Structures are given as structure tokens and as C-alpha cells.
Structure 1
Amino acid sequence: MIRKAIPSDLNAIHKLTQSCAKAMIVKEIYQWNEHYPTRSRFEKDVELQELYVLEEEDLIKGIIVITELMDDEYIPIEWITTENKNNLYIHRLAVHPDYWGEGYARQLMNWAETYAKSNEYISIRLDTFSQNKRNQQFYETRGYKKLGDIFFPKQSEYPFHCYELVL
């Protein structure tokens, strides 16, 4: 089941993303660290009602943030849909490492794409770490087009690739 996150989910969500960060570092993917994502970031996501959890058997196995707000870092990107109106942005998609490869990320993205279509958004935009080849392939296989790079210096010296899927 995918549902909106609530404040009592925050400990499990933060532990999930800490586990993801550790598992990615083992794979030499330095995407997340002590600066991102933070518990306070998730508190704000819950407050804004933009954070969703994938829950099975009372366990949070994955999360996704969907928002209409475009981050300032995205401004220089030449998006396919040029007006920057009626777009949905995806952030902080994560699945607990114990469940990697079981289709939960696909399930979260299917849900987000269905949500976007049913709410008549014109596109979905997101970014993924340039050193995470698996994520890039995941989005490109789904039809997302790579458009340009942005940087988050507190996260990595490497860029993040921006993608868009026109609906």
C-alpha cells in the first residue's frame, strides 16, 4: 500500500534512508551523506504532505516525495516542457536495501506516474546522481530523457543528471 507519510513514520523513514546511504557507499556511490537527506527535510516533507511511503506488513519498504515546487537548482535546465507550469517533481525515492531488486522502486514510480497522469500534469521531472548508473538506466528505460546537470556541493563533487518524462 502507498499512503501519505505521517509524523509517526519519521523514525522508520530516517533509518531507511540511512541504510540506503550506507549500502550505496559500499557500492562506491557517494550520493547521500550526513548532509542529505536529513530528518528535518523529511519533517518538512510530511508537513507539506508530499512524502509517501510504500508499506507492506507494517514495514515501510520505500518512500517517494512528489511536489509541484521546482527547486532553484533546476532553473538553468532546458526542460522539454518549457513553461515550468503543471509539472510534478520527484525527490528522495528510496527503497530499503533489504528489498532492493524486488520491484518496489518500480511500484513507487508506477504510482507516481499514474498520479501525475490522473491529475493532468504535463510532465514529471527529477534528478539522479551521475555516479549511480543503475538509477540512470531505471529512469531511461521508463522513457525519461536526460537533459542537463545540476550540482549539490554538500552531497557530492559529481553532478546530478536531470530527467523529464512528458506525459
Structure 2
Amino acid sequence: MEILLSKTSDIDAIFELYDAATAFQKKVGTNSWKGFEHTMVEKEIAAQRHFVIRDDNQISATFVLAFSDPIIWKEADKDPSVYIHRIATHPDFRGRNYVQKILYWTKEYAKKEGKNFVRLDTTSGNEPLNQYYLKCGFTYKGNSEIEWTNELPEHYKDGSFALFEIAVNK
């Protein structure tokens, strides 16, 4: 398993992962992703913030990093942090603890970048996923009610979002 910067040639595989994750979300939850723009992913790749995991010679997972998230995290966004977004795993690779591996890798990355926290958010009310993030070492920081803007993907229009963080030096 290796974590690599995404390339534009990975976009089709990335969107296959997003489609599979959205289908899974619809099966197990009440809120799901509503699709993403190719141009957004292309910009993230160009900015070197979009990553893939290669395992068994195929793209098995993907995620995105950001260095600010003021709409979701509000005042806490002032803390130097790395934000993980859009973790998606190929169905054949579920159960390989990618979130924990992404977290470990991102903590090391955050240390190099001088950040204090690794953070993520998810739809509030998804108790199994919330418990999983706690098991991975995150601390629940409450819910964030947001006012949606077109800077955010469509799924942020619905409801509130549970906030999780972990100190980099933990």
C-alpha cells in the first residue's frame, strides 16, 4: 500500500470510488454525497492536495487535504490544521483500515507542515461512523450548523455536521 499524489490520469478511477461510496452511503445512511465537479478535482490535483492509495496495483482509495475550512469549523479554523475530506474506498478494499492509515500519514504530513491538528467532518447523526472516528483516535468537537454557499459540495446543504479532530503530537 502506498499513498501518492493523484494525477489527472487517475480522475476516472477517483470518480468510480466516489460513485461506489455514494451508493454505500445511500444504503446505510440518510445523507449521501450528491456528486462532485471534475473541475474541482482537477484543481485539487493541480494544487497537490488530492491523494490516492494504491494497493494490489490498483487505486483502492482516495482522499483530499485542505489547510482551512472556515465555513465548517468557524472560529476554530484559526488553529493551524490539516482537514481530511472525501475519503472513499473501493468496495473490494473495505476493512483494510485505510482511515487509520490515512490518519497516521496525515499526522506526519501535518507535523512537517507545522500544523497542530488533523480534522474532519461528517454528517451528524451517523452514530456508527462517529464511533469509528472515535475508535481511530479522533475527539468529537460538537456539531457545526452551516450556511451553505456554492463553495461547498451539494451534500453540505443538508443538516449539521459532526466535527472531529486529533492533536498532531498525540
Deviation at 1:152, TM superposition (A): 7.1
- Residue 7 of structure 1 aligns with an amino acid whose one-letter code is T
User: Matches of 2:37 and 2:126 in 1, distance apart?
Assistant: 20
Q: Deviations over 1:101-131 (max 9, x none)?
A: 2222222222112222343311112111224
Aligned to 1:44: 43
Asked whether the equivalents of residues 143 and 163 of structure 2 are also in contact (C-alpha less than 8 Å), the reply is yes
- Using the alignment, how far apart are the partners of 1:29 and 1:107 within structure 2? 27
| Cα RMSD for the two superposed structures | 2.2
Aligned to 1:54: 53
Where do 1:1-167 residues align within 5 Å?
Answer: 1-34=2-35, 37-75=36-74, 79=76, 84-150=78-144, 151=146, 154-155=154-155, 157-167=158-168
Q: Which runs of 5+ in 2 are unaligned?
A: 149-153
Q: Secondary structure at the match of 1:113?
A: helix
Whole-Å separation in 2 of the counterparts to 1:104 and 1:85: 26
> Does structure 2 conserve the Cα–Cα contact (< 8 Å) formed by 1:4 and 1:49?
yes
Matches of 1:63 and 1:27, distance apart in 2: 20
In structure 1, the gaps of 5 or more residues are none
Pairwise CA distance, 1:135: 2.4
- Sequence identity of aligned pairs in percent? 24
**How many residue pairs were aligned?**
160
Q: CA deviation at 1:159?
A: 1.4
1:63, 1:108 within 8 Å by CA — same for their partners in 2?
Answer: no
* Paired position in structure 1 for 2:151: none
When normalised by structure 1's length, the TM-score is 0.83
- Identify which range, 24-33 or 52-61, moves more after superposition: 24-33
Asked if 1 retains the 8 angstrom alpha-carbon contact of 2:29 and 2:126, the reply is: no
Amino acid at match of 1:129: T
Whose helix fraction is larger, Structure 1's or Structure 2's? 2
Say whether the 8 Å CA contact 1:147–1:164 is kept in structure 2.
yes
